[in-house]
């Protein structure tokens, strides 16, 4: 199957069945989303959603977070992964946000990456969700699913390489949605250790499934 056809079938399925995918992080404004995404690195959205209500109630805007001590922020996020670093990042992010951007969430990858705790992936999530920009954030789910389905070549061994492979074939208007489609599919169906191929609606064009079936047939 040609790459173009593989992408077409991927897009057709999700456009039909999940036309409006959403992030599973709970937030009410761009600032809250930025905080939640920084916290979500190497941690589940479910865990983040458990701790953010109290955090957002105490620090509802950049000003209160910028004025906080790292120790106090730590008490709210102690149950997430790497809480010490993330507490420092959140306070530094709020201070930089006020000093450089007047408290407004930047709208470019370059500006977002000047904020402590914000890398390329986090910047792309913010741009995609807040500004509906055609940016593809590549996390572990996107990386894995893209390779298994054959959307990204095995030679694409970095997040940036996978990002470029996806952006080359996904129409711009679908890029923000495709990010969520890949994440959700990886989170609930194409899981890392034991992918649920038996319930997957994409297996008829999935390279991983075809290879697995061939091995079983040879056995």
Tell me: the pLDDT tens digits for 127-162?
A: 999 999 999 999 999 999 999 999 999 999 999 999
Is 138 within 8 Å of 128 (Cβ atoms)?
no
Task: Inform me whether the pLDDT recorded for 217 exceeds 70.
Answer: no
Please check the confidence at residue 219 and state whether its pLDDT lies above 70: no
* CB-based contact 37:135 (threshold 8 Å): no
Rounded mean pLDDT, 51-77? 97
Mean pLDDT within 7-15: 97
**What was the pLDDT predicted at 1?**
78
In 3D space, the residue among 37, 60, 56, 202 whose CA is nearest the CA of residue 113 turns out to be 37
Look at residue 216 in the predicted model and tell me its pLDDT.
Answer: 63
Distance CA 64, CA 67 (A): 5
43 is in an annotated binding site: no
pLDDT-derived band at 215, boundaries 50, 70, 90: low
Class of domain 1-219: mainly alpha
190 is in an annotated binding site: yes
Question: Which are the contacts of 97, defined by CB distance < 8 A and separation ≥ 6?
Answer: 31, 62, 66, 103, 104, 105, 115
Give Cα 175 distance to the centre of its chain: 12
What values do phi and psi take at 14, rounded to 5? -75, -35
Question: What residues act catalytically?
Answer: 121, 139
Interval 14-60: pLDDT, tens: 999 999 999 999 999 999 999 999 999 889 999 999 999 999 999 99
Reported pTM: 0.89
Residue partners of 94: CB distance under 8 A and separation at least 6: 59, 62, 63, 65, 66, 68
Q: Which string of b and e fits 62-71 if b means at least 16 CB within 10 Å?
A: beebbebeee
* Domain extents in the chain: 1-219
pLDDT of residue 214: 67
Mean pLDDT of the chain: 94
Average pLDDT over residues 167-196: 95
């Amino acid at each position: 199957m040609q790459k173009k056809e593989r992408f077409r079938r991927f897009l057709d399925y999700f456009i039909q069945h999940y036309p409006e995918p959403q992030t599973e992080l709970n937030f009410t404004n761009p600032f809250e989303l930025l905080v939640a995404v920084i916290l979500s690195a190497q941690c589940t959205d479910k865990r983040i959603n458990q701790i953010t209500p109290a955090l957002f109630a105490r620090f509802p805007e950049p000003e209160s977070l910028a004025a906080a001590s790292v120790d106090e922020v730590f008490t709210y996020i102690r149950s997430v992964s790497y809480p010490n670093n993330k507490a420092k990042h959140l306070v530094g992010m709020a201070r930089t946000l006020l000093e450089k951007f007047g408290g407004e969430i930047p709208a470019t990858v370059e500006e977002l990456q000047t904020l402590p705790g914000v890398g390329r992936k986090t910047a792309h999530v913010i741009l995609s969700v807040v500004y509906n920009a055609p940016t593809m954030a590549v996390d572990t789910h996107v990386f894995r699913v893209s390779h298994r389905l054959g959307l990204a070549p095995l030679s694409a061994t970095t997040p940036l390489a996978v990002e470029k492979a996806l952006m080359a074939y996904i129409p711009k208007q679908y890029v923000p949605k495709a990010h969520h489609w890949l994440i959700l599919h990886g989170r609930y169906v194409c899981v890392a250790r034991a992918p649920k191929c038996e319930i997957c609606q994409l297996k008829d064009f999935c390279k991983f499934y075809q290879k697995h079936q061939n091995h079983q047939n040879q056995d």
